[in-house]
């Protein structure tokens, strides 16, 4: 049967539009089942706290559970690789942090390329680290700490949530800029490092503010300074490390990523909902109470942050310490 040319063109145009309509419909109905947010660190750290905050919001907004799945190890690489190899359907997401950008240049051989294999979805927050010591430590200021560590080379133990993590490199930068000789003690994650800090088994740590602030307010840890360029509104009386070590500044950040090739429509929907959460007064207050600043923006904005951070750490020699 021969179709008139006009009818044929109408049918062809309709067929071409079907994939677009299908993608839009898929995004409108997403999610139809529970999704998971993979946290590449153990429970209790700042990435876990951020994931649970956003996961609860998404669960309430989208009507399906966003379950937190902790997959710690290898400085976040184990959890990241799991997400890289997951179907790009919106049901496996990654809680991205500064360690992801650091690992891109720290490790010579990885089974994935983070910038290529993880699609940026949305930022969540930016937080400073806190340079803290056990209350029994004799130094109560950064200046006193530097003087004590110089007088006792190799006798101060510095804990971190793992080799190559942003907390570890914050400490290495401090060592490099002050000329101190401290012993790095890496843990599987930030939470067990804090546990040993609280027990007095290690003496110093550059911990994220969300994970450390409750212990500092309770007097279980002694805060010396924040690592950010500005003082923290959550602890306004706490000085900056840069007040004692000119030019020093580091911070942590978190966001959500997904396997590459995830439909743009689903990325955009998640971005919209996460940004709505970051604008919610209760979540904004919670982030501020933890010493953080919300990172509202597009997927492209978050992608630029990741790329800039990767270049920043890759260009500094302490990223390979």
- pLDDT per residue over 61-90, tens digit each? 999 999 999 999 888 899 999 999 999 999
Check pLDDT > 80 for residue 6: no
How far apart CA 312 and CA 292 sit, in angstroms, is: 21
**DSSP letter, residue 307:** H
pLDDT of amino acid 215: 96
Check pLDDT > 50 for residue 317: no
pTM confidence score = 0.78
How far apart CA 263 and CA 270 sit, in angstroms, is: 11
Give percent above pLDDT 90 in the chain. Answer: 67
Check pLDDT > 90 for residue 95: yes
Residues 50 and 95 sit within 8 Å (Cβ to Cβ): yes
Of the candidate ranges 94-98, 100-104, 115-119, the one whose mean pLDDT is the lowest: 100-104
Of the candidate ranges 5-19, 116-130, 235-249, the one whose mean pLDDT is the lowest: 5-19
Residues 94 and 80 sit within 8 Å (Cβ to Cβ): yes
pLDDT of amino acid 321: 44
Give percent above pLDDT 70 in the chain. Answer: 89
Residues 88 and 264 sit within 8 Å (Cβ to Cβ): no
Helices (H) and strands (E) in the chain, counts: 12, 11
Check pLDDT > 80 for residue 135: yes
Residues 274 and 256 sit within 8 Å (Cβ to Cβ): yes
pLDDT of amino acid 21: 46
Check pLDDT > 90 for residue 108: no
Tens digit of each residue's pLDDT (9 = 90 or more) over 182-226: 999 999 888 899 999 999 999 999 998 888 999 999 999 999 999
Tens digit of each residue's pLDDT (9 = 90 or more) over 24-58: 555 678 999 999 999 998 888 788 989 999 999 99
Tens digit of each residue's pLDDT (9 = 90 or more) over 162-190: 888 889 999 999 999 999 999 999 998 88
Q: What are phi and psi of 172, to 5 degrees?
A: -65, -40
The runs of H, that is alpha helices, within the chain are 5-29, 46-62, 77-84, 98-106, 114-117, 142-151, 166-178, 190-198, 209-217, 264-279, 281-289, 299-314
CA 203, 205, 211, 215 torsion-angle sign: positive
Residues 192 and 72 sit within 8 Å (Cβ to Cβ): no
Length of the chain: 321
């Amino acid at each position: 049967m021969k179709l008139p040319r006009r009818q044929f063109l109408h049918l062809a145009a309709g067929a071409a539009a079907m994939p677009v309509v299908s993608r839009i419909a898929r995004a409108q109905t997403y999610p139809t089942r529970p999704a998971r947010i993979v946290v590449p660190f153990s429970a209790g750290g700042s990435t876990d706290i951020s994931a649970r905050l956003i996961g609860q919001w998404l669960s309430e907004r989208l009507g399906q559970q966003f379950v937190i799945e902790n997959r710690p190890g290898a400085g976040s690489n184990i959890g990241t690789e799991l997400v890289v190899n997951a179907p790009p359907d919106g049901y496996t997401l990654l809680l991205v942090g500064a360690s992801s950008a650091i690992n891109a240049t720290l490790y010579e051989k990885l089974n994935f390329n983070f910038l290529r294999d993880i699609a940026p979805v949305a930022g969540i927050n930016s937080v400073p680290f806190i340079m803290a010591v056990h209350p029994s430590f004799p130094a109560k200021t950064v200046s006193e700490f530097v003087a004590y560590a110089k007088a006792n080379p190799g006798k101060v133990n510095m804990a971190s949530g793992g080799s190559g993590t942003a907390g570890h490199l914050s400490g290495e930068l401090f060592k490099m800029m002050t000329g101190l000789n401290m012993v790095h003690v890496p843990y599987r994650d930030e939470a067990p490092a804090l546990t040993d800090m609280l027990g007095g088994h290690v003496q110093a740590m550059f911990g994220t503010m969300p994970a450390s602030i409750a212990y500092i307010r309770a007097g279980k840890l002694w805060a010396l300074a924040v690592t950010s360029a500005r003082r923290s509104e959550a602890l306004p009386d706490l000085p900056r490390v840069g007040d004692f070590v000119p030019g020093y500044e580091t911070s942590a950040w978190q966001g959500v990523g997904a396997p590459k090739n995830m439909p743009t429509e689903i990325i955009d929907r998640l971005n919209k909902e996460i940004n709505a959460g970051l604008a919610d007064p209760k979540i904004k207050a919670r982030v501020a109470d933890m010493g953080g600043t919300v990172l509202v923006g597009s997927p492209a904005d978050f992608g630029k942050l990741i790329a800039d951070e990767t270049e920043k750490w890759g260009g500094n020699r302490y990223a390979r310490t």
